[in-house]
Amino acid sequence: MLLCALATVVASAPAHAADRPQPGSVYRDGPSGRYLLGGTWYQRPDAADTGIRERFQRSPGLAGWTRTSVPSASNAGVFTNESYLGTVHWYRKDFRLPRASRLSKWVLRFESVNYRARVWLNGKPIGTHVGAYLPFELRAKSVRRRGVNRLVVRVDSRRQKFDIPPLSQRASGAFEGGWWNYNGILREVYLRRVDQFDFAQVFFEPRLRCRTCAATVVVHAQVANVNSSGASARISGTFGGRALRFRGHRVPGRGTARFRARTRIRNPRLWSPERPTLYRGTLRLRTSGGRTVQRYRVHTGIRSLRISRLGRIQLNGRDVNLRGASMHEDSLSRGAALTPTQMRQNIGYLRELGATITRSHYPFHPYTLELADRHGILVWSEIPVFRMASRLFANGEVRNKALRMLRTEIARDANHPSVAVWSIGNENASRPGTGLRKYIRKASRTVEDLDPTRLVGIATSGFPTVQKQRIYTELDVLGINDYFGWYRGPRGTISDRNLLSGYLNRLHSDYPNQALVITEFGAEANRSGPVTEKGTYEFQTDFLRYHLGVFASKPFVSGALIWNLRDFRVKPGWAGGNPQPNPPVNQKGLVDDRGGKKPAWEVVRKIYRSTGPFR
Ligand code: GCB
């Protein structure tokens, strides 16, 4: 009740800096009719105590609000326990609708809000959403065609018991969670103009039987009718300049219909890290009367991914040998709300390093994926099912939530040729119980159904104490987080790096049909010192060189990713195995917070540059 009162008061306030959003988007692929809701926004912490709330209600103008821009992490640079555990923060934005036909309807698209969002438009609640890193859309029913609109968003970054990924403070005082909990509207907000029909999902599915074969591209389009009465829709389009022919379909009122077309490409130019060829696909959506209501464009690639009989990842029929580094969306100045320049910088580092693969614990910003497509960097794409205890998977609703994330991720990212693996989690229970086994099985079927062109995998802790887990044989790829010689592991079993080689051999014989990728290996480094002392640049350099040497001697290792490209913030008290840590910073980066390259950079760069993407 109080929340609504707050939002209504805000809604009746005089307009401040009401701009008219301009057409355009940060990432280029997707539907027409997108307008970036950039410009001036305002933010304020929640007025939790009555005094502040009263003041706020009496002066509904700008008192208490500060000017900001979106994307925004409200607690960037604040590394207190409270900031990590979560807060409530408000955002608001005044805007005028772009000029458009009266037939247009409007949708608000949020690319990522962490973690719970409640949204009001002109004082009316228009929807809520839970979970970051994936987009959600709300119908802007209460939008005013003339005059000023006021959008208000309440962002609550506190995590609840069954949220994914988990984040809390244990009774011991220790914190759960793997990266800083930034509160805010972490990625862009768009206004989308929709008229009658809307592309709900588009997938250009490349089918390629062999490297020299002709390719078939099957185009799947799901069209939504935003009106209440049924109507016929038509789609036309092109792929690589060739015409696509779809049959017309009737789309039920407020329902959806599926359209399909295919085209054959006799001599396809294949996408690979060496030559990341992109084909342009365009679609045009029309009413039966011939009025164009939306266009859609993608830049995608033709390539195949499968596992060979020897358990190796094959890209376009050739065994890969990938090397790279993982990333977190994190910067000292902006938290997780990276600017396009920062995303370009990160991809720039990967390119300079000679990396052919990257990874994160959550779906990347779509712009990062477009850059990866363009520059031939494969992506291990993961949903944030991060270190979840068995008891969580025992809960069917938790499993369903994770599966929904996976489906949303596939729907959003299926056209990126860089995405090679849909990863369904990281370091969950090492010996999956019934619940986790059910989740793995369902997730693997989900990928098979929705996207047969890619591999399904999971990242696990590399512990030799864990025997073969039969459930993993239902996956294509097994990710191993290798900290041999860094952490101690269960009963000290990974303290000795010399045990790494034998452990990898054992894994390969346990899972001969699964590909193995080293999803993590790394060591903290924040100072110079003896090579034998953990936390020194010398130790990190020697550690990475040694591990890369072991991987190079194992033809069954399809790829390896350093943890991490750059230093990032984890949680209060983070030490990460470094006897002289700098909490909350994870300093396993090759690059530090000032953009400085640590000594290991040059050693890794030389090794990566002399390792081709194929065997
Ligand atoms: C891991 C986690 C990653 C941590 C890393 C570390 O295994 O997957 O999120 O940051 O280890 O530095 O300990």
**Can you give the pLDDT at residue 366?**
98
Q: What is the rounded CA–CA span in Å between residue 393 and residue 399?
A: 6
pLDDT digits over 222-239, tens only? 999 999 999 999 999 999
Is 495's pLDDT higher than 70? yes
Going by pLDDT thresholds of 50, 70 and 90, the confidence category of residue 59 is very low
Strands, E assignment, 290-334 = 292-300, 305-307, 313-315, 318-319, 322-326
Q: Ligand 1: which residue has its CA nearest to atom 9? A: 178
Residue type, 28: R
Q: What is the rounded CA–CA span in Å between residue 440 and residue 460?
A: 13
**Can you give the pLDDT at residue 4?**
42
Going by pLDDT thresholds of 50, 70 and 90, the confidence category of residue 61 is confident
**Can you give the pLDDT at residue 63?**
81
What's the CA-to-centroid distance between 561 and ligand 1, angstroms? Answer: 12
More confident residue, 285 or 612: 285
Nearest to 473 by CA among 444, 422, 511, 446: 511
Is 56's pLDDT higher than 50? no
Q: What is the mean pLDDT of the chain?
A: 95
What's the CA-to-centroid distance between 321 and ligand 1, angstroms? Answer: 23
Q: What is the mean pLDDT of residues 497-511?
A: 98
426 CA closest ligand 1 atom index: 8
**Can you give the pLDDT at residue 60?**
61
What's the CA-to-centroid distance between 61 and ligand 1, angstroms? Answer: 45
pLDDT digits over 242-263, tens only? 999 999 999 999 999 999 999 9
More confident residue, 286 or 53: 286
Q: What is the mean pLDDT of residues 51-59?
A: 43
Q: What is the mean pLDDT of residues 574-587?
A: 98
Q: What is the mean pLDDT of residues 435-463?
A: 98
Q: What is the rounded CA–CA span in Å between residue 460 and residue 564?
A: 16
Is 133's pLDDT higher than 70? yes
481 CA closest ligand 1 atom index: 7
Q: Ligand 1: which residue has its CA nearest to atom 6? A: 576
Question: Ligand 1 pocket test: which of 179, 520, 561 has the largest number of ligand atoms within 8 Å of its C-beta?
Answer: 520
Q: Ligand 1: which residue has its CA nearest to atom 3? A: 178
pLDDT digits over 379-422, tens only? 999 999 999 999 999 999 999 999 999 999 999 999 999 999 99
**Window from 62-71, 186-195, 462-471 with minimum mean pLDDT:** 62-71
Contact 75, 66 (CB under 8 A): no
**Can you give the pLDDT at residue 51?**
46
Contact 440, 471 (CB under 8 A): yes
Contacts of 234 (CB under 8 A, 6+ apart): 246, 248, 285, 286, 287, 288
Q: What is the rounded CA–CA span in Å between residue 175 and residue 570?
A: 10
Distances (CA, A) of 165 to 229, 361, 571, 601: 40, 10, 14, 31
What's the CA-to-centroid distance between 372 and ligand 1, angstroms? Answer: 23
More confident residue, 48 or 37: 37
Contacts of 600 (CB under 8 A, 6+ apart): 525, 537, 540, 541, 544, 590
Q: What is the rounded CA–CA span in Å between residue 604 and residue 594?
A: 19
**First and final C-alpha spacing in the chain:** 63
**Can you give the pLDDT at residue 54?**
42
Q: Which residues sit with their C-beta closer than 6 Å to ligand 1?
A: 178, 426-427, 481, 520, 563, 576, 586, 588
Q: Ligand 1: which residue has its CA nearest to atom 2? A: 178
Question: Ligand 1 pocket test: which of 179, 328, 458, 563 has the largest number of ligand atoms within 8 Å of its C-beta?
Answer: 563
Going by pLDDT thresholds of 50, 70 and 90, the confidence category of residue 340 is very high
What's the CA-to-centroid distance between 271 and ligand 1, angstroms? Answer: 31
Q: Ligand 1: which residue has its CA nearest to atom 10? A: 178
Contact 560, 322 (CB under 8 A): yes
Is 560's pLDDT higher than 50? yes
| Backbone dihedral angles phi then psi of residue 16, each to the nearest 5 degrees | -125, 125
More confident residue, 442 or 2: 442
Distances (CA, A) of 294 to 80, 98, 347: 46, 16, 32
Q: What is the mean pLDDT of residues 465-478?
A: 98
pLDDT digits over 164-223, tens only? 999 999 999 999 999 999 999 999 999 999 999 999 999 999 999 999 999 999 999 999
